Structure 1
Amino acid sequence: MIPKVIYTADLSETPDKQRLTAWRHAWQAMHPEWDVVALTLDTRPPVLNHDQWRQTFGLSEPAASAARLNLLRYEVLAREGGVFVDPDRLPLRPLDELVAGVGAFCSTIASHGASRPHMLSPSVLGATRNHPMLWHAIRDLPHSVLVYRGVWDQSGPGFLTRVVRDHGHFRDVVPFHWAIFEHGEDAARAHGGAFAFVQAKAAEVVA
């Protein structure tokens, strides 16, 4: 069973704490029985892929924070389980039904060029503690950072899609194709899927 804890993180060197507080409030209000945790560079746990973590500080923003977010999410979920959500994602409905009876799930992204339709995305990623997909991700990440360019393929959707495909986890990781992120609540609700998340702009999160 996926533990009832929701994580996010702002891993920039100057985190927007007001934004994180607003994010935590939005998720906690819809998930009163869940733990909701917002991490920063000062509060994050240690990471196993330390060399790759250190390399992110040589990147410019927002790539640096995005790379660190991906490294952290795989390791936190592998050790603790739960759901890890990007800090610009706000819920339209509770996750309780989504996680019931599911060992792991991820969101998808509908397009990144015609050659890559419906890729898996870690933007909303959930799993039981010690799920093998996550440990495969942690093991494969150093090689991915070495041979690929750009956060998308090194640790983001391109990477997660390869991990699930190459290690056969398509059998046990549920891709929620209808959990598509829309720019605004009206568009997300109009999508009609069972689960949707608003992709909020910073101003909308802190409002």
Structure 2
Amino acid sequence: MPAQHRQFIETWRQQMPDWPIMAWTDADIDWSVRYLQQAYATRGWNRISNYMRMHALNRYGGFYLDTDIELLKPLDPLREERAVLGFQVAEPSDSWVNGAVFGAEPGHPFVRRLLRAFHEEMPGWRRMGDSHGPGLITRLLRDEGLSRCTGAPQHVAGVTLMPVDRFYPYHWTESFTPACITPNTFAVHHWEHGWGGQRPLTARETLRALAAATMPGPAAALARRRIASEKARRAGPGRGAQALDGVEPA
């Protein structure tokens, strides 16, 4: 994990010292899920992250935070909400609502709807920009009636949607400046640009994706072997294994 991200996580501990922090790595992934097999086969680390945050929230509840989130004040005032997301831009767009900060009670219906979309609708092997993340969240919220962004929290499908300044006070095309922070800002997303591009699959990735789609059992076993090999390669002699990063190659 980059040193800067470790510093951001330290702000979580400073702001909420009584909250437990749980981390998900490749060791926690259920490789029987076909979407995850396909995403791993095509090195879609951000797609795996998009899925796993929904899995974690559905099972445990709490707040999911990307590791490039700097926390400025405790999230305790939001604990009364059944689910919490934030607009990343005020203007309507296909990626209106981001999931880099996502709070939910265990088994929340909207989280379950997102998981169902991953299982039934989303091609894990396909690079689609952020359509596996903010694009998917926004699309499903629009299906539930989302039509505007205001300067106050609003409720759609049992989800409290927070204004832009709460979690995303500056745009991903801008540089951070403390002037963007308002008295209402809980957190700052520092936009590490890990969502990747939409380059064509290589021949090897295409074969892996086909195997994941048609032979899920062997594909899961192969994924586990590749992960073990990757860990050993990254660790090197005399070092502990390191988790895969969350950046998808462009």
The bucket for the TM-score relative to the shorter chain is: 0.7 to 0.9
Q: Which of 158, 161, 166 is 1:175 aligned to?
A: 161
2:128 — aligned with what? Answer: 150
Match in the other structure for 1:198: 188
2:101 is the alignment partner of 1:95: no
Equivalent pairs, count = 176
Q: Does 1:108 align with 2:91?
A: no
**Aligned counterpart, 1:78:** 58
- Partner-residue secondary structure (3-state), 2:9: helix
Of structures 1 and 2, the larger Rg is shown by: 2
Q: Is 1:39 equivalent to 2:24 in the alignment?
A: yes
Mapped contact 2:94–2:138 kept (Cα < 8 A): no
Distance of 1:47 and 1:151 partners within structure 2: 23
Aligned equivalent of 1:5:
none
Q: CA deviation at 1:76?
A: 0.6
**1:59, distance to aligned residue in structure 2 (A):** 3.0
1:55 aligns with 2:38: yes
Q: CA, structure 1 residues 142+171, in 2 after alignment: closer, same or farther (shift >3 Å)?
A: closer
Gaps of 5+ in 2: 146-154, 193-250
Indicate how the Cα distance of structure 1 residues 115 and 133 shifts in structure 2: closer, same or farther if over 3 A, else same.
closer
Higher strand proportion:
1
Q: Deviations 1:4-52 (Å, cap 9, x if unpaired)?
A: xxxxxxxxxxxx275554343221111011111222213x25377x111
Superposed CA deviations along residues 121-166 of structure 1, whole A, max 9, x for unmatched, are 111000001101111111112343239851411x211101122332
Q: Which amino acid aligns with 1:198?
A: V
- Identify if the C-alpha distance between structure 1 residues 35 and 185 changes in structure 2 by more than 3 Å, giving closer, same or farther: farther
User: Out of 118, 129, 134, which is 2:111 matched to?
Assistant: 134
User: What's the secondary structure of 1:145's corresponding residue?
Assistant: coil
Question: Structure 2 length normalisation: TM-score?
Answer: 0.61
Amino acid at match of 1:55: Q
Residues in 2 aligned to 1:164 and 1:73: alpha-carbon distance in whole angstroms = 17
Distance 1:22 1:40 in 2: 19
Contact 1:103 1:173 in 2 (8 A): yes
Q: CA RMSD in A?
A: 2.9
Structure 1 gaps, min length 5: 1-15, 203-207
**TM-score, with length taken from structure 1:** 0.72
Partner SS, residue 18 of structure 2: coil
Give yes or no for contact 1:70–1:156 (8 Å, CA) kept in 2.
yes
1: CA distance between counterparts of 2:70 and 2:180?
11
